[in-house]
Amino acid sequence: MLFEPISLSYQDAYIRHFSAVRFAASDYSFINLWGWAEEYGLSWAWDNGLVWIRQEIPMPCLWAPVGDWEGVAWAAVFDNPQIQELPFNRVPEELLFQWVANLPGRVKVEEAREHWDYLYSVPELVDLAGNKFHNKKNLLTQFKKKYRFGYQEVTPSLVPRVLAMQEVWCTWRDCESVETLASENRVIKRVLQAWEDLTGIMGAVINVEDEPKAFTVAEALREDMLLVHFEKGLPEFAGIYQAINQMFLEHSNGFSLVNREQDLGDEGLRKSKLSYNPSSYVRKYRVRIT
């Protein structure tokens, strides 16, 4: 297989392959692949109706192949030494089950908890009802009472102002001294600057005194599920994260679930994601085929 850089020119073809799979893992959306390609050293190869994804940074591995898994002769596929030589990461549970069934005794599995996606009920995060959302609801109420704010969808003309807000946020967090934040900042810029070229991208900002103070970037992962890629708010506005989360979902009609991606093993991020009471997870694993 010939691995090549992930390209915008094959975006539509990839989305067709992605629509054939039976999982909802955030890693595999085109926006995510293309946005993070340089940070993870991602490339892809198109072979036998599947898109194979290779990662080079921080170490070489493969991700799950994307496409119609039904009818694939997995035993024959894994006779390819080019595939056997590398471990797999971020393999969704649905594909793992197929591999275990079709490759008896050859599948070695390790849980990758840091890559599990967090799924939430959209109605719950809009209503914030009950004791389990009491703190979130209070912060949202305080924000609405304290600030004169406005909500608007992100359009191409608004992108420069969102980029400017991201710069302010990064100055506050000192992104350049923390590689994970510096990397995310590069990806956010890459995605925002390509806004008009990315299929299905959507987002919103909250303005306070006519200036963006929070933004979110998302897409429809499937008909019933939103995927939130980025969510940022300036810290001097108490409750602004609760506000951008709740208002964006309230304005996004037709979705019952929202995928808020993984925690990457960061304890602070895990605590934050758990505080929103996930309804379920997209489980993923590290796999080696022997």
| Domain at 180, CATH number | 3.40.630.30
Residue 225 zone, left/alpha/beta (φ > 0; ψ -120 to 50; rest)? beta
- Same domain for 70 and 172, yes or no, is no
Of 9, 37, 87, 52, the residue nearest 191 (C-alpha)? 37
Total domains present in the chain: 2
Domain residue limits at 21: 4-116
- Same domain for 13 and 130, yes or no, is no
- Same domain for 138 and 257, yes or no, is yes
Q: Over range 226-232, report the average pLDDT.
A: 98
Q: pLDDT class for 22, splitting at 50, 70, 90? A: confident
Q: pLDDT class for 204, splitting at 50, 70, 90? A: very high
Q: Please confirm whether the linkage preceding 81 is cis (ω < 30° from 0).
A: no
Within a domain: 257: yes
Of 220, 100, 205, 128, the residue nearest 160 (C-alpha)? 205
- Same domain for 40 and 57, yes or no, is yes
Within a domain: 267: no
- Same domain for 107 and 124, yes or no, is no
The Cα–Cα gap between 166 and 35 comes to 16
Q: pLDDT class for 48, splitting at 50, 70, 90? A: confident
- Same domain for 84 and 166, yes or no, is no
- Same domain for 23 and 9, yes or no, is yes
